[in-house]
Amino acid sequence: MPEARNVAVSFAHRLRDAGHLAYFAGGCVRDHLLGKEPKDYDIATSATPAEVVRLFPGANEVGAHFGVVIAKSKGHMVEIATFRTDGSYHDGRRPAEVAFSTPEEDAHRRDFTINGLFEDPESGEIIDHVGGRADLEAGVLRAIGNPVHRFAEDSLRLLRAVRFSTKLGFEIEAGTWAAMREHADGLKRIAAERIRDEFSRTLVLPARARGLDLLVDSGLIRHFLPEVLDLIGCEQPPEWHPEGDVYVHTRIMLEMLGDHAPLELCLAVLLHDIAKPPTRTFDEDAGRIRFNGHDALGATMTEVILRRLKYPNETIDSVTTMVGRHMQFMNVQQMRTAKLKRFMATPTFPLELELHRVDCASSNGFTENLDFLLGKREEFAAEPLIPPPLITGRDLIARGLKPGPHFKELLESAQTEQLEGRLGSREHALEWLLDQIKDS
Ligand code: ATP
Ligand code: MG
């Protein structure tokens, strides 16, 4: 038995030995029944938080989640929550009051039937008050109770529905789906950070393209990333993009990313052509559509979008860089060695290479630039792309130069010469320097 489960079983025993009910609850039951190893375990119990804390010395009650205590052992954390009912919601975000109650009521406050199951940790018996087992077997995601009310209570559930449906490949039940479409604008009341987190968790899933379709078709994306809607129907030159419009192209790329793509890459793929709609023109002379400057404007739009969604600065920087540079991959074969090495030395380059791969694979199928870069990566592998400098500012000062803007220029030229392979040693570089000074 995996250690996390062992820990959770022993915690449940401790609660039972003290005379309380204790069940595994929610996601861990769902995942276990699906044959997947649960990420973490939650226990639902009849013990009050005070009783739980008494039984688990050192455990803490979590302030933000009423009635939840976190107990730890061997590096595993288990959330132990008292059976409760959530009372009424006033603001579409959090219940106004909560009360301790029965397992049945606790099951009914949960979001989806597949998340509303309990498991007896001793017998393995499944306690199903909400029809979750049948939905799990049928592959259906269904809100517990009246879906319209449930989404009105808590609008984050709209995005959770998309995430679980995407993660598990489950169909969203018709009534649940209709309620989602009806209540999509409830997202307006949800903080950007919470939207960001749910959206990110969906975007990194292997079925992220389907997740995107669900966000579009439900109307949810309109409230946090409306720019994506403009990709739909944005026609492209068929000789470069036989696959279709920008949305189709983008979603094929998302599909091609594979199962473990990092968030930055998924965001960069999603946003790489985000400025095609506003830059689209028709070149009468050439008789074709153009998107001049969509890379630079795309970087600007990416920054605006990711800031609005409150992504951390490093994420914004990486994704913006990737979007801004994605067209440069078409010119790599014409770059001089120094420029190419600098291009390849950027921290995001490995991810950009993958973006470029799927950009071509999803459209025209060209691989020349990718193959060229893979070859160069081998060729340059023996040494660092940017080796330590042969000369520094001190050498310039030693030769009587005064610090100023030309320092940077000189040192950059020295680096260019070094990257081009024209300066092999420090002596050589110092000679070169004397030459430069003499000329100026
Ligand atoms: P994951 O694998 O993503 O952690 P999970 O089902 O464990 O899935 P959590 O967000 O950890 O999801 O929540 C644990 C349980 O709490 C859920 O299974 C569900 O029963 C309940 N729950 C969580 N968020 C909500 C919500 N917004 N509304 C109603 N019930 C919720
Ligand atoms: Mg969980």
**What pLDDT does 65 receive?**
62
Q: Which ligand sits nearest to residue 85's alpha carbon? A: 1
**What pLDDT does 93 receive?**
73
Is the predicted pLDDT of residue 209 greater than 80, yes or no? yes
Confidence band (pLDDT; 50, 70, 90) for 390? very high
Q: What percent helix, strand, coil does the chain show, rounded to 5?
A: 55, 10, 35
Provide the 8-state DSSP code for 125: -
**What pLDDT does 437 receive?**
87
Q: From the CB of 295, is ligand 1 less than 6 Å away? A: no
Tokens of 294: 């969509």
Q: Provide the percentage of residues in the chain whose pLDDT is more than 70.
A: 98
Q: From the CB of 42, is ligand 1 less than 6 Å away? A: yes
Find the 39 Cα to ligand 2 centroid distance in Å: 7
Q: From the CB of 106, is ligand 1 less than 6 Å away? A: no
Q: From the CB of 354, is ligand 1 less than 6 Å away? A: no
Confidence band (pLDDT; 50, 70, 90) for 54? very high
**What pLDDT does 269 receive?**
98
Q: From the CB of 115, is ligand 1 less than 6 Å away? A: yes
β strands within 95-183, DSSP E: 99-100, 117-119, 126-128, 140-141, 171-172
**d(C-alpha 11, C-alpha 47), whole Å:** 12
Ligand 1 atom nearest to CA at 39: 2
Is the predicted pLDDT of residue 91 greater than 60, yes or no? yes
Q: From the CB of 27, is ligand 1 less than 6 Å away? A: yes
Find the 314 Cα to ligand 2 centroid distance in Å: 27
Is the predicted pLDDT of residue 260 greater than 70, yes or no? yes
Find the 42 Cα to ligand 1 centroid distance in Å: 10
Instruction: Give the pairing of strands 84-85 and 76-82.
Output: unpaired
Is the predicted pLDDT of residue 64 greater than 60, yes or no? no
Ligand 1 atom nearest to CA at 110: 30
**What pLDDT does 439 receive?**
64
Q: From the CB of 272, is ligand 1 less than 6 Å away? A: no
Find the 65 Cα to ligand 1 centroid distance in Å: 12
CB-neighbour burial class of residue 57 (10 A; exposed 0-12, middle 13-18, buried 19+) = exposed
What is each CA distance from 107 to 31, 59, 206, in whole angstroms? Answer: 17, 24, 29
Contact 197, 205 (CB under 8 A): no
List of residues 6+ apart from 173 with CB closer than 8 A = 135, 140, 141, 142, 143
CB-neighbour burial class of residue 4 (10 A; exposed 0-12, middle 13-18, buried 19+) = buried
Mean per-residue pLDDT for 183-190? 96
Q: From the CB of 153, is ligand 1 less than 6 Å away? A: no
Number of C-beta neighbours around residue 404 at 10 A: 9
Ligand 1 atom nearest to CA at 42: 14
**d(C-alpha 222, C-alpha 220), whole Å:** 5
Domains of the chain, start order: 1-130 (3.30.460.10), 139-217 (1.10.110.30), 226-379 (1.10.3210), 393-439 (no CATH)
**What pLDDT does 100 receive?**
87
CB-neighbour burial class of residue 93 (10 A; exposed 0-12, middle 13-18, buried 19+) = middle
Nearest CA residue ID for atom 4, ligand 1: 27
Q: From the CB of 129, is ligand 1 less than 6 Å away? A: no
Residues 11-42: pLDDT tens digits?
A: 999 999 999 999 999 999 999 999 999 989 99
Provide the 8-state DSSP code for 219: T
Instruction: Give the CA radius of gyration of the chain.
Output: 28
Provide the 8-state DSSP code for 304: H
Number of C-beta neighbours around residue 206 at 10 A: 17
Mean per-residue pLDDT for 67-73? 91
Residues 320-349: pLDDT tens digits?
A: 999 999 999 999 999 999 999 999 999 999
Is the predicted pLDDT of residue 97 greater than 80, yes or no? no
Residues 118-169: pLDDT tens digits?
A: 999 999 999 999 999 999 999 999 999 999 999 999 999 999 999 999 999 9
Q: From the CB of 362, is ligand 1 less than 6 Å away? A: no
Residue to mutate, 30, 111, 183, ligand 1, most ligand atoms under 8 Å from C-beta: 111
